């Protein structure tokens, strides 16, 4: 199974990873704020992740690490 980890403190909540995900398993945590004051992206549905790294490819802040 694939594993996606976010460096949440560096996330700016732009949502490009959420749009890039072909399995719709990412989301923006609307009820949370990180130290920068943004709502960060998080893995909503780990089971569906296929480890394609599309999210990391589109992330402008290099905060996503993908393992498979």
Partner 1 sequence: MAIVFEKPKALTDAPFHYCPGCPHGIIHRLVAETMDELGIEGKAIGVAPVGCAVMAYDYFACDMIEAAHGRAPAVATGIKRCRPDNIVFTYQGDGDLASIGMAETVHAAARNENITVIFVNNAIYGMTGGQMAPTSLPGQVTQTSPYGRDVNHCGWPIRVSEMLATLEGPEYITRVAVNNVKNVRNAKKAIKKAFQNQIEGKGFSLVEVVSACPTNWGMTPKQALEWIESDMLPYYPIGVYKDRSAKEDAAE
Residues lying near partner 1 in the complex (CB under 8 A): 3, 10, 12-16, 19-20, 38, 51, 53-54, 56-68
Tell me phi and psi for residue 35, to 5 degrees. Answer: -60, -25
Provide the minimum distance between the beta carbon of 58 and partner 1 in the complex, in angstroms, as a whole number. Answer: 6
Quick check: 24 and 49 in contact, CB under 8 A?
A: no
The residue written with tokens 């990412």 in the block is 26
């Amino acid at each position: 199974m694939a594993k996606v980890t976010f460096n949440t403190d560096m996330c700016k909540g732009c949502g490009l990873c959420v749009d890039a995900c072909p399995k719709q398993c990412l989301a923006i945590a609307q009820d949370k704020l990180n130290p920068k004051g943004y709502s960060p992206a998080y893995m909503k549905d780990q089971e569906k992740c296929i480890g394609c790294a599309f999210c990391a490819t589109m992330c402008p802040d290099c905060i996503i690490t993908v393992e498979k």
